[in-house]
Every structure is written in structure tokens, then in C-alpha cells.
Structure 1
């Protein structure tokens, strides 16, 4: 699986299937994206690698928020798109689904591997989603199920 920022200056590849693919409704994701929820996909540490020209940091800005200092996010210096995050508590990388490669019709190429299987942090949702996926207060199977 591969992906990039909007302008293509920052690219990445993933070598293993995700450990989590969900729609996240947390207030942090809402505020970082300006959207009611995001498609977040989490991978083990050794599954992720940058593939754009080295030095990789030349194309990237990194930032951490005081509310979650253990999570560092990287965004493209050219187009500003947040491409990936790394969580030092879990050792995992996360990417937003919209950054994955797409086919000629605009559909995500690896959709069957990364399609969301649940809604997380649904208690802070800004709108109801009527689908068959489980809805959780926090992480799936680690918090109260809301629906």
C-alpha cells in the first residue's frame, strides 16, 4: 500500500495490513481536519516507511500537541497535508485514509485492506452515522459500545 500528500512531495509505503481501520469521531481529529470524523488507519511500527527523496525531513514539518505529546504528526511543507502520525506509547503509525493512492476513477486502490470496520470516539460525534459498523465510546473492544 502506498500514499502521499496532495501535491505528491511526501510519499509513504506500508508493508503489512493495518491493526486498526476506523472512522474516528474524537474532538482532536475533528479540530485538526475541520471534518465531523476521519478515516484513520493504524499500522505496526515496522510496516511504515517514507519513500520520497532523502533527506525525508526536508519535505516534512513535524508537530506534537500539548494534549498528546506522545503523538508526533508529519505534514508536507509544500501543500500542508498531514500525512502520518507516530504514537510513542503504542509504537504505531497512523495515516488518514484520504492519503492512500487512488486509481483512475479516484477510488482508493487498497480499499479492501483499509476499509473502516468500526466507529471510535463516537460519543463526541457531531452527526449520527446510520451504518452497520459498531460504535464505541473510545477504542473498539476497549470501551463502552454505544451502538
Structure 2
């Protein structure tokens, strides 16, 4: 008996802090990393941003579209909740992909970050204590 692959693929849900903006994304991430660049540190208010990358078409805002604050342009931006400020995802690579801020996922994804990027500009007060590969810039 044939199965419908679309029916068996897991969808994950994500939300901002206040719950005003939600999204669904396929659990088909292509890569995941911890980014230590100054932009990710500033937009998250943290030492790094754990993110998972996926084709843009596989992420769908499910509620609160009017709450989305786009910082940047349509093909290169950080998408935040306008109410609470949470960074939900970043649109990257000329609009083809999104980097989902993993802290906004409600459901656990199958992927885990595989390395640290932009370690050359990491916060001087933060110490990386795992054994994952580290790259000064992109992996």
C-alpha cells in the first residue's frame, strides 16, 4: 500500500513570547548552528542564536500576521512579533531560506545545531563549553 509522504511529514509549531504570532514549519531542516555574530547577539539579547535553516516555502505564519514586524526588506530580514519583540525567524539567502530561531519552537525538531559560526566575533564574556566545531565565520 502506498503512503502519502506529505501526510507523514511532521509539522512543528512555533510562537513568540506573548503568543500573538505563531507559525508552522516542516520538520525538514537542512542545517542548524549556533551563531555568535554581533547581529544575532543584538537581535536576541543573548550570547548566540541557535537557528535551523529551511526553505522559505516550508514555513507558514499561522496567526498574528498583522503582528509581524519585518526589520529589513522582503528578501533579507529579521521577523519579530511587534507586540513582544521576539525574533521568530530571519529571511536569508536572497529570500530563499529562513533561519528559525530555535527558542521559538514549541515542538522539538529532529535536528540539533552541529557547529558554532562567527566565533571570531563572539561575546568576550561567553565561553563555549561543548565540543562542536567552531568557525570564525561561516562553516
TM over 0.5, shorter chain? yes
2:26 touches 2:58 (CA, 8 Å); kept in 1?
A: yes
Instruction: Quote the residue 1:135 is aligned against.
Output: 134
Q: List per-residue Cα deviations over 1:84-124 (Å, max 9, x = no partner).
A: 221252610111111010xxxxxxx314x132111011111
Report deviation, 1:18: 1.1
Residue of structure 2 aligned with 1:15, choices 21, 26, 48: 26
Give the CA RMSD over aligned residues: 2.0
Residue of structure 2 aligned with 1:92, choices 91, 94, 97: 97
Report deviation, 1:28: 0.8
In structure 2, stretches of 5+ residues that fail to align are: 1-11
In structure 1, stretches of 5+ residues that fail to align are: 102-108, 141-147
Report deviation, 1:9: 0.9
Residue of structure 1 aligned with 2:38, choices 7, 27, 41: 27
TM-score (norm 2): 0.80
Report deviation, 1:16: 4.0
2:43 touches 2:87 (CA, 8 Å); kept in 1?
A: no
Report deviation, 1:8: 0.9
Report deviation, 1:23: 0.7
Q: Distance in 2 between matches of 1:50 and 1:124?
A: 32
Equivalent position SS for 2:63: coil
Q: Distance in 1 between matches of 2:27 and 2:85?
A: 26
TM-score (norm 1): 0.76
- State yes or no: 1:124 paired with 2:135: no
Mean Cα deviation higher: 32-41 or 91-100: 32-41
Count of residues in correspondence between the two structures: 126
Q: Once superposed, which parts of structure 1, at least 4 consecutive aligned residues long, lie more than 4 Å away?
A: none
Report deviation, 1:134: 0.6
